[in-house]
Structure 1
Amino acid sequence: MTEHNILERRALKLNQSSDMPLYLFALAAEEIDLVADVARISRDEAGRLIGYQRPERRSHVKQILEYLDSADVLFPNGLILALPDTVRFKSSRGPGASDGLAVSGTLKIPVPTVGSDPRPAWIVDGQQRSLALGRSKNKRLPVPIAGFVAPTLALQREQFLRVNTVSPLPVNLVTELLPEVVAAPSPRLSAKRLPSALVDMLNMDPESPFAGLIKRASSDEEARKRAVVTDTSLVEALRESLESPAGVLFPYRNMAAGTTDTESIRKLLIVYWSAVRETFPEAWAKPPTKSRLMGGVGIRAMSRLMDRVMSHVDIDSDTVRDATMAELARVADKCRWTSGTWDELGLPWNELQNTPRHISALSNYLARAYVDARATSSGR
């Protein structure tokens, strides 16, 4: 460390991108805590998403720490850091400084002068390893580091998702991060960005019947106690309706112009699911062990029913609530969310599982019951 609180390290600068410099260098185990922090996923008081890392896995950290404190350590598994744009790289002199792929030189990283000051870098990959390294007795163990300059949180999140495509992240963590990144790492993930943003809305909008009931990766301990619906089930349900031409949400997307009428989608979702809550009050806001309506099988099946029900409802009508309730009433007496046995399916209410087979069977049963009820009421 120099007197100016600049950490200097020999480094290689790789010529991958002119917009995002990439450096390879080493830090001592004890220096990682000085330079880099973990951006834990959570939400601020305004409900905005902050961070992107999952919680600490204590058993994993313990296993790494036991190895680090053993004899003859070989630790090639490095860390990936998002560096601030205040880092400076000075190339070495002479013709041998570059081989066309990398340039050797010195990297200067500013570090905080006081322990409470924020650290300059964020750990994008290797947070469990970094925790173990910070607790290791082997303080001067050289640790390989790959660092890229990423001044924005959105860019860090994007790289975090890309880096973790080989070792899959928890699905709910990925879906919650997607609306916050500039570009999704793959077409598959890109398709989930809008549904995940809508799930955010449903969880945070005070007019939503799902407000505070959805489990998200950023939920704190108190929020998790209240939440009963998994966000992944809702994301998949909304994705189906948005992408299928038969989905009631599909017409609200202008594929040619690349625009989406999110306000109308918001209104439709709140109207429909509020009507579901009022139609089945005894089954709403209970954990799936007490109500299959709130489990994945219920959410997916009722979302598919939404595609049929809401095609018969004018969401701009003054009587939209009553009209939606009337449509749901056609199948209400056939539902067994908290007790009894489902007709035709031959399954007790608590044997319905969140599996493709049961989701399909329940969806088809509700669709048939609804279509038959409408046909009977029209005299056909």
Structure 2
Amino acid sequence: MADRYTLRLPALEVRQGDKRIYCFAVDGKRLHEFAAVSRVRRDDEELHGYQRPEVLSHIRGIRRYLESDGAILPNALVLAFDSRVTFIPAQRDSDSIAYSVPGELVIPVDETDTETDKPAWLVDGQQRSAAIRDADIEEFPVAAVAFIAGEAEQRSQFILVNSTKPLPKGLIHELLPGTSGQLPPAYERRRLPALLMSRLNTDADSPFLNLISSPTSPTGYIKDNSVLKMLEHSLFEGALYQYRDPADGSGDLKQMMLHLTSFWRIVRDTFPDEFLLQPRSCRLTHGVGIQSLGFVMDALTDGKTAQDVDSPEVRAAVERIKPHAAWRSGDWHFSHGEERRWNALQNTPNDVRVLTTHLLRLVNS
């Protein structure tokens, strides 16, 4: 029968306002007994985890270094504990520093636990911990810093800890909807657009179902950043603004989703073949098309309720684009005699502006 035991580690509790962090040392070889790498994944209901996949070449390099003489890893790993882990303070002198409390971390270990059942997750140090695990050494003590929190706060801390590193934008976009607490302004602004994008990519009645590329939807072919830009503009300056509370950044998600799915279903119905093509073969699913049609949505539906978006008026307006569209072949004939090959349009601010102006002229004709 597998062992169940308690691991007790000397630790220092550091109080930061109403938060607590714990500094301690642990044999890196034992880290995986109680700590898991929470890799990002999605099931039918929601997003789980937050870590990026292991970088094998990086791990091999660290492992070779650890197996050499004089190896040292001075940077602390960052872990998140769940509520099963407790801190027991030691007796203190009356004149002890209030924000620094010595004591002991008590970590329950069950060798039957799966990765998802372990009481700790690695927030930062995935490659280092994997290298220690695989290295041909008996032990390698490492410094660690931990906090006790739920998964939403863990995701926020993961983004903040990695904010100075080249964290993949797609991973950040997937994590943002499930975060809590304060984030940098640029991330705060994109939290609601990222939530809407996630819903568009996963809701069964969405025309974008599984079409948006992301770490958990690798077969998607529409760039997530293009959809985010479209949503962000509409939320702050366009048709979706009416559903948003500018005071706290929240919004009526149900009405927003109905508004979005209604309009983009019209686009899909008008251009069914083009909607199924990858961006290299079609400019509708390209960044320039997604953003330009987002501006068309804002112009045609601004002030309309979500229930009124799918109307004969809006359908007729989008239909007026069809005879003049060069999404996947031919030429675009812009005003003042300018002509561009269908695939000459790029995802640049100038080309988005040119195509938007052209499409708005068509829908308003």
What is the TM-score normalised by the length of structure 2?
0.89
Give SS of 2:239's match. coil
**In the alignment, is the contact (CA less than 8 A) between 1:79 and 1:126 conserved in 2?**
yes
C-alpha separation in 1, matches of 2:316 and 2:51: 45
Give the aligned partner of residue 208 of structure 1: 206
C-alpha separation in 2, matches of 1:97 and 1:135: 45
Q: 1:4-15 counterparts in 2 under 5 A?
A: 5-15=5-15
Query: Structure 1 pair 258/347, CA: closer, same or farther in 2 (3 Å)?
Result: closer
C-alpha separation in 2, matches of 1:357 and 1:321: 31
Q: 1:107-186 counterparts in 2 under 5 A?
A: 107-114=105-112, 116=114, 118-150=117-149, 152-186=150-184
**In the alignment, is the contact (CA less than 8 A) between 2:7 and 2:108 conserved in 1?**
yes
* Aligned residues with identical type, % of pairs: 35
Give the aligned partner of residue 288 of structure 2: 297
Deviation at 1:12, TM superposition (A): 1.6
What are structure 2's unaligned runs of at least 5 residues? Answer: none
C-alpha separation in 2, matches of 1:234 and 1:200: 10
Bigger mean CA offset, 279-288 vs 344-353: 344-353
Give SS of 1:324's match. helix
Query: Structure 1 pair 135/282, CA: closer, same or farther in 2 (3 Å)?
Result: same
C-alpha separation in 1, matches of 2:165 and 2:95: 35
**In the alignment, is the contact (CA less than 8 A) between 1:97 and 1:103 conserved in 2?**
no
Q: Of residues 258, 263, 286 in structure 2, which corresponds to 1:272? A: 263
Query: Structure 1 pair 340/139, CA: closer, same or farther in 2 (3 Å)?
Result: farther
Give the aligned partner of residue 376 of structure 1: none
Give the aligned partner of residue 348 of structure 1: 341
- Is residue 322 from structure 1 mapped to residue 320 from structure 2 by the alignment? no
Deviation at 1:96, TM superposition (A): 9.7
Runs of 4+ in 1 over 6 A off after TM superposition: none
**In the alignment, is the contact (CA less than 8 A) between 2:333 and 2:339 conserved in 1?**
yes
Q: Of residues 45, 53, 56 in structure 1, which corresponds to 2:54? A: 56
- Is residue 40 from structure 1 mapped to residue 39 from structure 2 by the alignment? yes
Q: What are the Cα deviations for residues 214-252 of structure 1, in whole angstroms up to 9, with x where unaligned?
A: 122223xxxx33x211222111211101101xx111122
**In the alignment, is the contact (CA less than 8 A) between 1:313 and 1:320 conserved in 2?**
no
Give SS of 1:293's match. coil
Deviation at 1:115, TM superposition (A): 5.9
Query: Structure 1 pair 116/309, CA: closer, same or farther in 2 (3 Å)?
Result: closer
Q: What are the Cα deviations for residues 338-372 of structure 1, in whole angstroms up to 9, with x where unaligned?
A: 1112223533222322223322332233233434x
Q: Residue type matched to 2:228 in 1?
A: V
C-alpha separation in 1, matches of 2:303 and 2:97: 68
C-alpha separation in 2, matches of 1:228 and 1:240: 21
C-alpha separation in 1, matches of 2:340 and 2:56: 40
Give SS of 1:249's match. helix
Query: Structure 1 pair 124/315, CA: closer, same or farther in 2 (3 Å)?
Result: closer
C-alpha separation in 1, matches of 2:75 and 2:58: 14
Query: Structure 1 pair 102/259, CA: closer, same or farther in 2 (3 Å)?
Result: closer
Query: Structure 1 pair 109/315, CA: closer, same or farther in 2 (3 Å)?
Result: closer
C-alpha separation in 2, matches of 1:132 and 1:96: 43
Give the aligned partner of residue 252 of structure 1: 243
What are structure 1's unaligned runs of at least 5 residues? Answer: 374-380
RMSD: 2.5
**In the alignment, is the contact (CA less than 8 A) between 1:97 and 1:104 conserved in 2?**
no
**In the alignment, is the contact (CA less than 8 A) between 1:272 and 1:306 conserved in 2?**
yes
What is the TM-score normalised by the length of structure 1?
0.86
Q: Tell me the matched-pair count.
A: 359
**In the alignment, is the contact (CA less than 8 A) between 1:38 and 1:123 conserved in 2?**
yes
Give the aligned partner of residue 26 of structure 2: 27
Give the aligned partner of residue 365 of structure 1: 358
